[in-house]
Amino acid sequence: MDATHFADRFTTTLRHLRGVDLHSASDVDLRTALAHTVRAELIDTWQTTHGNPSTTPQRHVAYLSAEYLLGTQTRNALLATELTDTAREALASLGLSLDDITSREVEPGLGNGGLGRLAACFMDSLATLEIPATGYGIRYDYGIFRQTFQDGNQHEQPDTWLAHGSPWEISHPERAVTVHLGGHVDGDNTTRRWVPERHVLAIPCDYLVPGYKSHTVNLLRLWSARATDAFDLTIFNSGDYEKAVAARTYAETISHVLYPEDSTPQGRTLRLTQQYFFAAASLHDLLTRHLKAGRSLHTLPDAVTIQLNDTHPVIAIPELMRLLLDEHGLSWDDAWHITQQTFNYTCHTLLPEALEVWPLDILGPLLPRHLEIIFAINHHFLDDLRRSGADELRVRSMSLIQEHPVRAVRMAHLATVGSRTVNGVAELHSELLRTSVLAQFASYWPDRFTNVTNGVTPRRFLALANPELASLISDTLNVGDRWLKDLDLLRGLEDHVDDPAFIAAFREVKHNNKERLARTLANRDGIELNTNAMLDVMVKRLHEYKRQSLRILHVITQYAKMKNGLIDLATVTPRTVFFGAKAAPGYRLAKETISLINAVATTLNADDEIRPYLSIAFPANYNVTLAETAIPAADLSEQISLAGKEASGTGNMKFALNGALTIGTLDGANVEIRELVGPDNFFLFGMTEPDVVQRQRDGYHPHTVYEQSADLALAIDTISSGAFSPSEPGRYESLVSDWLWNDRFMALADYEDYARCQEAVDRHYANPDQWTRSAILNVARTGFFSSDRSIRDYQTRVWQRPTK
Ligand code: BZD
């Protein structure tokens, strides 16, 4: 398509779809028409992909995830279809700017953080690698809340991403699937029949996922809940109109809002309803397609492989059993064989409180037949276990049912028992799964466990987010943009690490990215960014284990020392410390940490003497769109979780690929990043995971650490003195007392080593040649972290592994 053709289609779409001409078009009209013009291209490709089913006998991949943190769509679709320049030229010929139009696009924030963003990167790679796949999830009316700060405190506003409709969505109400809920189970010992009480409709809302320069467009199918006509029939018949309308509303609340808790799942009926709602609708879709193709259910595991993104969709396991047993009349053994060979489970955590359990008194009333099936699965499993010689202690700890503090289903155990493979998301994490969290399962079924280290898509996080670096790479490697599909080619940059022209160009790109971020922050947040300072970035969900507290304590020490004349300002490497973080709305300590960071920012940034040397930028509402501007501008990437707590991290990979150096612990994928970039190009500090275990065993007393570290005490005492809360000196007492007397994630224990390591960062940065060399080597050596590599690993280790 040439620019004239594009312009023509665009103006036609504007007229036919929006009923306006160029002169009367609003921002929304322009954005919508542009999206539809590009979408039409994708649909044509999609129809050719699906009209010609793959001739290679590979399984169809179904990715089940309660979250997809997609980011904006238009620029990505243009990149994938190689229409960016055409669109730019076409719009310019109409007096419009592509960048203006796309810069106002609203991102669908249908996820909390890393897990949801990983799902989005994987969808991109599946299509790019031309693997037939469908992503299934929930079309929340409200995604992750919009964060605002009022007096430095986090407030949550509803995310109205659908206010002007979603031009990328194709919804099919006529293809609705009915999902059943509640009721009871009838029948005798041999035939059981679920008699549900309520029914809701699941409407498929499809998003096309284009592969980069590929012939494949896959589908992301998100389910939206609607009331059925029959839903409230009994109530209507009873004449209670108001109650009947209320019942409809109930049905529609199912897909209303994304739960914003990412680490402490709260046992809420609505959350379980969401999980079952999308699991059941997705399985219905998969089975219908399988049967329509004239295939037997016994061949399901050869045709389809289902990846469970954490335990959120794990209720799909008993649902498939129910369908096979109750609806299709298969025997238990056949049904179990098919089920267990179809599912795979990815675990994303190590924190015990993040492992989902569903109390029987929530699960039973909502899904009575599923609870029976779970008990039956458990019965068979525990029998096998006993036969293998396990004692009762072991049987109890491996059971799918926990007895205390309340009887509940352990979803991670159900997932492990019901899957062909179980994987962690980085080498260290998979190892810890095998040796601690799921150790008993790993020794029972050693072959079931594997690792797939996470990855990120270079299309969004290099080509779109960092176009200047992308074109420098293309010019330097002389392979066009082939490297975007074969990220190991970045290795070729090592040959240029001593080339003065390349070094200068690389440095200029970083500086330009800082200028771009500065413009964004000025417009978006009214924040002024010093583009001549080192940009030190910590962006991620706010959580104690990630230790934003460690970062802010160190900033406070530096500030206090500068104020007290303990640091000669003339020797200081100027830094801006950038934070982006949302806290779960009910997570008190996390919200206090946000308040503290904002208070310190206010003090530092108002101090004319200090500001040129040390300042804080903390824009509210960090999201994928802001990440795309912040990451390419970063010099230093803060990955400072307590060792053994961050499953992988994926921000860490995005920073390294964009030429930031990492200061980090030996946690998650940091371990692999450091191995690849080399110890000289990575700032390592802190306890190792075994150190942490030992220190806990020995008895950890943070107050003693405080007494022994003058710098740490200076930071904490400065907070307690009210330096950042003059009208209320005790404002941060809850944080201070938690550090001194609890400090579950041992920020204090790692403080001294962290401070030492930050000095090494300053020295390295003070030598620009040395720093740039390290930054280039980070880019050159981190091609491994492409999500294309992760997906290939899933193909060989999980999805295309022969069935039993
Ligand atoms: O998953 C994250 C881990 O914390 C990261 O270490 C890892 O890199 C990514 C991807 O594997 N986990 C989450 O993001 N988890 C959630 O968002 C979540 C959401 C709802 C409920 C529980 C957890």
The tens digit of pLDDT for each residue in 578-637 reads 999 999 999 999 999 999 999 999 999 999 999 999 999 999 999 999 999 999 999 999
Query: ∠ CA 786-791-797 to the nearest 5 degrees?
Result: 130
For residue 249, what are its two tokens?
Answer: 């509303």
Q: Whose CA is nearest to atom 23 of ligand 1?
A: 262
Q: How does residue 260 score in pLDDT terms, banded at 50, 70 and 90?
A: very high
The tens digit of pLDDT for each residue in 156-165 reads 999 999 999 9
Residue type, 388: S
- Under a CB-based contact definition with an 8 Å cutoff, are residues 649 and 668 in contact? yes
> How confident is the model at residue 50, as a pLDDT?
65
Q: Whose CA is nearest to atom 8 of ligand 1?
A: 649
Q: Whose CA is nearest to atom 21 of ligand 1?
A: 262
Q: How does residue 662 score in pLDDT terms, banded at 50, 70 and 90?
A: very high
Point out the ligand 1 atom lying closest to the alpha carbon of residue 312: 21
Check residue 584 and report its DSSP letter: -
The residue among 221, 295, 282, 341 whose CA lies nearest residue 53 is 295
The tens digit of pLDDT for each residue in 417-470 reads 999 999 999 999 999 999 999 999 999 999 999 999 999 999 999 999 999 999
Average pLDDT over residues 542-547: 98
Q: Within its chain, how far is the Cα of 443 from the centroid?
A: 30
Ligand 1 mean position, distance from CA 546 (Å): 12
On the 0-12 / 13-18 / 19+ scale of CB atoms within 10 A, 693 is: middle
> How confident is the model at residue 228, as a pLDDT?
86
Name the catalytic one among 75, 117, 271, 348. 348
H-helix or E-strand spanning residue 179? strand 177-181
Active site residue 540: yes
Ligand 1 contacts (CB < 6 A) are 112-115, 118, 262-263, 265, 348, 354, 425, 454, 646-650, 668
Name the catalytic one among 650, 662, 772, 782. 650
pLDDT above 80 (res 126): yes
Cis amide leading into 690 (omega within 30): no
> How confident is the model at residue 212, as a pLDDT?
97
Ligand 1 mean position, distance from CA 751 (Å): 25
> How confident is the model at residue 242, as a pLDDT?
79
The residue among 672, 674, 693 whose CA lies nearest residue 683 is 674
Q: How does residue 328 score in pLDDT terms, banded at 50, 70 and 90?
A: very high
The Cβ of residue 2 has, within 10 Å, a number of other Cβ atoms equal to: 10
Point out the ligand 1 atom lying closest to the alpha carbon of residue 425: 11
> How confident is the model at residue 401, as a pLDDT?
98
> How confident is the model at residue 14, as a pLDDT?
98
ipTM over 0.90: yes
Domain-by-domain residue ranges, the chain? 1-53+73-105, 55-64+107-350+419-454, 459-785
- Under a CB-based contact definition with an 8 Å cutoff, are residues 552 and 521 in contact? no
What are the beta bridge partners of residue 655?
none
Name the catalytic one among 541, 543, 773, 789. 541
Ligand 1 mean position, distance from CA 790 (Å): 16
Residue 654 and residue 258: Cα distance in Å, rounded? Answer: 25
Ligand 1 mean position, distance from CA 262 (Å): 7
Q: Whose CA is nearest to atom 20 of ligand 1?
A: 262
Residue 529 and residue 606: Cα distance in Å, rounded? Answer: 13
Point out the ligand 1 atom lying closest to the alpha carbon of residue 650: 8
CATH of domain 459-785: 3.40.50.2000
Residue 100 and residue 82: Cα distance in Å, rounded? Answer: 19
> How confident is the model at residue 705, as a pLDDT?
98
> How confident is the model at residue 506, as a pLDDT?
98
Name the catalytic one among 75, 540, 645, 731. 540
> How confident is the model at residue 744, as a pLDDT?
98
pLDDT above 60 (res 231): no
Q: How does residue 190 score in pLDDT terms, banded at 50, 70 and 90?
A: confident
Those residues with Cβ within 8 angstroms of residue 244's Cβ, 6 or more apart along the chain or in another chain: 232, 235, 236
Active site residue 541: yes
Q: How does residue 494 score in pLDDT terms, banded at 50, 70 and 90?
A: very high
The percentage of the chain sitting over the pLDDT mark of 70, rounded to a whole number, equals 98
- 55-64+107-350+419-454 CATH, one of 3.30.365.10, 3.40.1380.10, 3.40.50.2000, 3.30.750.24: 3.40.50.2000
pLDDT above 70 (res 410): yes
pLDDT above 90 (res 57): no
Ligand 1 mean position, distance from CA 115 (Å): 4
pLDDT above 70 (res 236): no
pLDDT above 60 (res 155): yes
pLDDT above 70 (res 233): no
Average pLDDT over residues 96-108: 97
Mutation probe of ligand 1 site: the residue of 68, 112, 115, 652 with most atoms within 8 A of C-beta: 115
Active site residue 650: yes
Average pLDDT over residues 470-497: 98
> How confident is the model at residue 658, as a pLDDT?
99
* Lowest mean pLDDT across 239-253, 301-315, 409-423, 728-742: 239-253
Mutation probe of ligand 1 site: the residue of 144, 262, 451, 652 with most atoms within 8 A of C-beta: 262
Ligand 1 mean position, distance from CA 555 (Å): 27
Point out the ligand 1 atom lying closest to the alpha carbon of residue 354: 22
Average pLDDT over residues 492-519: 98
On the 0-12 / 13-18 / 19+ scale of CB atoms within 10 A, 429 is: buried
Mean pLDDT of the chain: 96
Active site residue 496: no
- Under a CB-based contact definition with an 8 Å cutoff, are residues 230 and 146 in contact? no
pLDDT above 90 (res 37): yes
